């Protein structure tokens, strides 16, 4: 046996995951067959599950782990309560581990749930044994330790969790006349679904999907996972632009977490929503397209003629980036010194927009080029 398999078993989480999974697979359908469930129990399952899921995505993840926005104390308290109900540990433990994941992504020795150690490990196995990579260390979470709500939840995690899971579902069941049915649906089944939809981002989102922004890590964009995880499935984008409060950056991207945060900002419950400049996004996408175009060019029988065109595009790309960096530097300098008049600042912003549009057009030309590569038969 190797060192990994010899890591001591964590019996609390092992029993928790095993018992809830067995209850969801056996007791939930059995009770449904013998007694049946009412529509309001399914409604409680859906609403309670959404509150827990969004408390993880908008609270644990985008608010506390990455500081992509600031939230009113009332919203933070809501996230702390329903995040505890999701049974994924305290904000402090969850966020500290997630920050280590981003810093050491795919490093088997330091990433707590490295996808390079296999699907099972990154999905759930990392929580079942005391692996060195998963040891708690809050040196990267000093800011969270200054958050009174975070520390209140961390210090009273077990009673809060019991109250939010057993207490609340018991009260709902008592109020509707079926305690067992409510405990099974809004309690057990909801916990299992919340668990594994979150876990799929650690595992499946590092295995299955697209990599339009970077191939320097295993994270993927996956629309199907985004649908079931309140927008967390755009994981390739998130791993290169983790300070953006959005994961799905297009209007048509399914990202309820982004919509919740934006709505909260309109209501005065959130502020300082951080986004990544479009030019940086275009640069990342074009860099990947150039890399893939170069790979396809090696298989083309007309590589010499195509290479000239590709080099021309690369030169244009480099010049646009150079000008963009210069404009950004001038804009920041002007903001500090307040030396330019409004019309000059507007002129800089206009030129930046023109450069962003230029890169979008370049992406389309590269896409056409790569399609043409397929039409040109490769030499034998």
SS3 assignment for the chain? CCCCCCCCECHHHHHHHHHHHHHHHHHHHHHHHHCCCCHHHHHHHHHHHHHHHHHHHHHHHHHHHCCCCEECHHHHHHHHHHHHHCCCCCHHHHHHHHHHHHHCCCCCCCCCCCHHHCHHHHHCHHHCECCHHHCCCHHHCHHHHCCHHHHHHHHCHHHHHHHHHHHHHHHHHHHHCCHHHHHHHHHHHHHHHHHHHHHHHHCHHHCCCECCCCCCCCCCECHHHHHHCCCCCEHHHHHHCCCCCCCCCCCCCCCHHHHHHHHHHHCCCEECCCCCCHHHHHHHHHHHHHHHHHHHHCCCCCHHHHHHHHHHHHHHHHHHHHHHHHHHHHHHHHHHHCCCCHHHHHHHHHHHHHHHHHHHHHHHHHHHHHHHHHHCCCCC
Say if CB 231 and CB 256 are below 8 A apart. Answer: yes
Q: What is the pLDDT along the chain (380 residues), one digit of tens a residue?
A: 444 457 899 999 999 999 999 999 999 999 999 999 999 999 999 999 999 999 999 999 999 999 999 999 999 999 999 999 999 999 999 999 999 999 999 999 999 999 999 999 999 999 999 999 999 999 999 999 999 999 999 999 999 999 999 999 999 999 999 999 999 999 999 999 999 999 999 999 999 999 999 999 999 999 999 999 999 999 999 999 999 999 999 999 999 999 999 999 999 999 999 999 888 888 888 888 777 776 666 665 555 555 555 556 556 666 666 665 666 666 656 655 554 455 456 666 777 777 777 777 777 777 776 676 655 554 43
Residue 271, beta-bridge partner list: 70
Where does residue 332 fall: left (phi above 0), alpha (psi -120 to 50 degrees), or beta otherwise?
Answer: alpha
Say if CB 154 and CB 108 are below 8 A apart. Answer: no
Identify the pLDDT of residue 2: 47
Identify the pLDDT of residue 358: 73
| CA 74/CA 52 separation, integer angstroms | 16
Sign for the CA dihedral angle at 272, 112, 257, 206 comes to positive
Say if CB 187 and CB 169 are below 8 A apart. Answer: yes
Say if CB 200 and CB 225 are below 8 A apart. Answer: yes
Domain coordinates in residue numbering, the chain: 11-271, 278-375
For residue 77 the two structure tokens come to: 């308290």
Q: How many Cα atoms within 13 Å fall on the side-chain side of residue 94?
A: 28
Identify the pLDDT of residue 378: 47
Contacts of 302 (CB under 8 A, 6+ apart): 376
pTM, 2 dp: 0.82
Identify the pLDDT of residue 332: 57
Say if CB 245 and CB 69 are below 8 A apart. Answer: yes
Identify the pLDDT of residue 307: 54
């Amino acid at each position: 046996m190797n060192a990994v398999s010899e890591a001591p078993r964590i019996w609390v989480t092992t029993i928790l995951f095993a018992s809830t999974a067995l209850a969801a697979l056996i007791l939930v359908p059995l009770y449904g067959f013998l007694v049946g469930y009412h529509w309001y129990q399914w409604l409680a399952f859906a609403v309670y599950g959404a509150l827990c899921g969004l408390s993880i995505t908008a609270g644990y993840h985008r608010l506390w782990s990455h500081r992509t926005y600031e939230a009113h104390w009332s919203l933070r308290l809501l996230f702390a309560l329903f995040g505890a109900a999701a049974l994924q540990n305290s904000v402090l433990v969850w966020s500290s581990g997630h920050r280590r994941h981003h810093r050491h992504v795919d490093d088997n020795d330091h990433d707590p749930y490295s996808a390079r150690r296999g699907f099972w490990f990154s999905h759930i196995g990392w929580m079942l044994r005391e692996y060195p990579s998963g040891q708690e260390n809050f040196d990267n979470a000093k800011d969270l330790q200054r958050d009174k709500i975070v520390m209140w939840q961390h210090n009273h995690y077990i009673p809060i969790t019991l109250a939010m899971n057993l207490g609340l579902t018991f009260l709902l069941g008592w109020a509707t006349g079926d305690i067992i049915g409510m405990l099974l649906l809004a309690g057990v089944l909801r916990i299992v679904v919340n668990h594994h939809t979150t876990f799929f981002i650690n595992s499946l989102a590092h295995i299955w999907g697209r990599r339009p922004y970077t191939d320097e890590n295993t994270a993927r964009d996956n629309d199907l996972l985004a649908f079931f995880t309140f927008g967390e499935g755009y994981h390739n984008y998130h791993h290169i632009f983790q300070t953006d409060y959005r994961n799905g950056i297009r209007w048509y991207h399914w990202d309820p977490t982004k919509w919740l945060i934006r709505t909260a900002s309109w209501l005065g419950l959130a502020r300082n929503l951080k986004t990544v400049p479009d030019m940086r996004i275009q640069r990342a996408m074009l860099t990947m397209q150039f890399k893939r175009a170069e790979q396809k060019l090696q298989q083309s029988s007309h590589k010499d003629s195509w290479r000239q065109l590709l080099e021309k595009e690369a030169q244009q790309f480099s010049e646009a980036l150079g000008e963009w960096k210069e404009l950004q530097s001038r804009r920041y300098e002007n903001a500090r010194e307040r030396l330019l008049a409004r019309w000059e600042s507007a002129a800089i912003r206009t030129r930046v927009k023109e450069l962003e549009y230029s890169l979008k057009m370049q992406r389309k030309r590269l896409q056409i080029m790569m399609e043409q590569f397929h039409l040109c038969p490769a030499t034998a």
